[in-house]
Amino acid sequence: MQTSSPRQITAIAPVVAIVGATGAVGVELIHCLESRNFPVGGLKLLASARSAGKTLTFKGRDVTIEELTARSFEGVDVALFSAGAGISRRHAPDAVGAGAIMVDNSSAFRMDPDVPLVVPEVNGETLARHNGIVANPNCVAAIATVALAPLHRAHPIRRLRLTTYQAASGAGAAAMEELRLATAAHLRGEGYAPKVLPHPYAFNLFSHNADVDAESGYNGEELKVVAETRRILGAGDLPIGITCIRVPVLRAHAMAISVEFDEVVTPEEARALLQNGQGLRLVDDRAANHFPMPSEASGQDDVLVGRVRLDTADPSGRTLALFAAGDQLLKGAALNAVQIAELLLKR
């Protein structure tokens, strides 16, 4: 989708709309705008009719939720969408047509060649090519590329292997509540029939719940991460192997990463590159056996990365193994969207 004259955020204090304001990511968007002191000149909280009239708090005052309609974007400078691909496709013409820049957290536009797919620390320069819509990546792709970007800039990646351990937050607030209820029931010695996810969640893990492609055997989450990681890194032919697993963690995704380069990269050099990487915090204490954990990544803006070592499966010394963890609701979703808006505000 294109517009002939895309609008930039020129207002000193732009009017911001949040679509899907009552969801897990929507709530985090509100918190991110507040915590980062984004210069909000006006805030519109948009959701379905059943949520209209309720209130959420922003900077100590109640903001009434409005029903999302085609006319909701009049006077809006930037619209942060987090309500699913169908809603995004339906209301993109309304938002862009009203003059807003749309930052979309769904999968609707991520592979559209006319829409930049942006992780500000990795490829923020691609924002210059937006035509009214900017796509926010899949949470795993966002977290992984922040960890990989410093290495890839110094030594182009030849091959990538990922195994993800994805928290309930990736499936939304309802899945987080299901994990709480299922765990409490299990500890009481009671059964709990899953309603949101397809398998028992407490003290269990299972293949990511996205639909599985019958031909390839890969699920939709895995296919998205492969395609989006290539696009964000600007490496369209990068071979990527991936397995995505849902684990009984409330918040923050973790991943084991094996990175093969064209040349030998020592763990010492990799640590130095990661130590200086944007949006990263190196957690790599071998003596204390202390490496990235979801419990420490939760609520943090930075992606935690560590456990840097040679991958012994490659005797050439060109492959490193890493472990990373990042908050899916923040860097994997809301924070990344707000950072995009901040960059747009500077242009």
Q: Which residues are catalytic?
A: 139, 253
Closest CA to 78 of 131, 18, 148: 18
Closest CA to 336 of 164, 139, 86, 53: 139
Question: Where do we find the tokens 């299922």?
Answer: 182
Determine how many CB atoms are found less than 10 A away from the CB of residue 206: 14
Q: Are 253 and 332 in contact (CB under 8 A)?
A: yes
Element containing residue 336 per DSSP (H, E): helix 335-346
Closest CA to 311 of 161, 144, 140, 166: 161
Structure tokens at 252: 């923050």
Distances, alpha carbon 102 to alpha carbons 65, 91, 116, in Å: 19, 10, 11
Beta bridge partners of 320: 259, 310
Phi, psi dihedral angles at 210 (to 5 degrees)? -65, 155
Instruction: For 54-95, give the DSSP string.
Output: -EEEETTEEEEEEE--TTTTTT-SEEEE-S-HHHHHHHHHHH
Q: How far apart are CA 225 and CA 140, in angstroms?
A: 7
Distances, alpha carbon 251 to alpha carbons 15, 102, 291, in Å: 30, 26, 17
Q: What is the 3-state secondary structure (H, E, C) of 96-158?
A: HHCCCEEEECCCCCCCCCCCCECCHHHHHHHHHHCCCEEECCCHHHHHHHHHHHHHHHHCCEE
